[in-house]
């Protein structure tokens, strides 16, 4: 396994496989960062339940745009222009969970609770990454993602106090996003996932990260009095 630290100036000297994998993962990360606002800004910013929520939606979007900016700069350092993802239609996003539109507050809340948490997992994969310039970006970005997760969890919990109809809508959102979320980790038998680990770009395989996520999130869903969806039903990437 490769453990050296690589600086931007040495990137071009690296094995072509390392270069390809790093270019790919930074492009996907940039796409995911900007993909969030593309899902919810249009409908949720004008329609969040209160003025404060509207402002917090705007702040969340601002932070995601900033995360995109930081990864785009990192991409630029290795000769990759990721600005095409800024105008990419949602249907063309790299990760399926971002190929749509969020139109309800239940979906927005659960998206924060479940999917921003996966954002945190994706970022935590880079802790100790052999590509040295990534690590200094992580603390601030992860901290902001923690804020999004907390806000999503709080909003989800609040929705559950609003009666049976609201609870049903939240459960439906959990059913949707939990499955989309598990798919976000990719296939368990992915060869590429092993190569990321081999080159020290990621810490864990897809399967290891997904298992850790499930162990974290299932008690949280149950703790809200909700049902954990069948983790295999409706999955596209096993």
Quick check: 37 binds another protein (CB under 8 A)?
A: yes
Quick check: 55 binds another protein (CB under 8 A)?
A: yes
Quick check: 98 binds another protein (CB under 8 A)?
A: no
> Can you tell me whether residue 148 is helix, strand or coil?
helix
How far CA 235 is from CA of 48, 178, 182, 203, 230, in Å, comes to 30, 10, 8, 24, 10
Quick check: 137 binds another protein (CB under 8 A)?
A: no
CB-wise, 8 or 214, nearer to another protein?
8
Quick check: 1 binds another protein (CB under 8 A)?
A: no
Quick check: 190 binds another protein (CB under 8 A)?
A: no
Considering only CA atoms, give the Rg of the chain. 18
Candidates 66, 64, 76, 74; CA nearest to 119 is: 64
Shortest approach of another protein to residue 108 CB, angstroms? Answer: 15
Candidates 24, 203, 53, 214; CA nearest to 118 is: 214
How far CA 7 is from CA of 22, 77, 132, in Å, comes to 12, 10, 6
Quick check: 51 binds another protein (CB under 8 A)?
A: yes
Residues that bind another protein (CB under 8 A): 8-9, 11-12, 37-38, 41-42, 45-46, 50-52, 54-56, 58-59, 61-63, 65-66, 68-69, 72-73, 75-81, 83, 86-88
């Amino acid at each position: 396994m490769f453990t050296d630290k690589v600086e931007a100036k040495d990137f071009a000297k690296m094995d072509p496989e390392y270069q390809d994998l790093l270019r790919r993962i930074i492009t996907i990360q940039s796409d995911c960062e900007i993909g969030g606002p593309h899902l919810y800004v249009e409908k949720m910013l004008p329609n969040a339940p209160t003025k404060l929520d509207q402002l917090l939606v705007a702040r969340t979007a601002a932070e995601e745009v900033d995360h995109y900016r930081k990864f785009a700069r990192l991409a630029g350092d290795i000769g990759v222009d990721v600005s095409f993802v800024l105008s990419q239609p949602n249907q063309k996003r790299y990760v399926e969970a971002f190929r749509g539109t969020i139109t309800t507050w239940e979906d927005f809340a659960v998206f924060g609770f479940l999917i921003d948490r996966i954002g945190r997992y994706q970022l935590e994969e880079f802790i100790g990454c052999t590509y040295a310039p990534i690590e200094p970006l992580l603390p601030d970005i992860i901290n902001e993602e923690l804020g999004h997760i907390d806000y999503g969890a709080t909003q989800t919990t609040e929705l559950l106090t609003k009666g049976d109809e609201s609870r049903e809508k939240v459960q439906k959102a959990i059913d949707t996003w939990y499955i989309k979320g598990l798919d976000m980790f990719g296939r368990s038998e992915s060869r590429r996932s092993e190569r990321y680990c081999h080159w020290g770009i990621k810490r864990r395989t897809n399967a290891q990260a997904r298992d850790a996520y499930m162990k974290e999130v299932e008690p949280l869903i149950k703790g809200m009095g909700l049902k954990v969806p069948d983790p295999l039903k409706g999955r596209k990437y096993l």
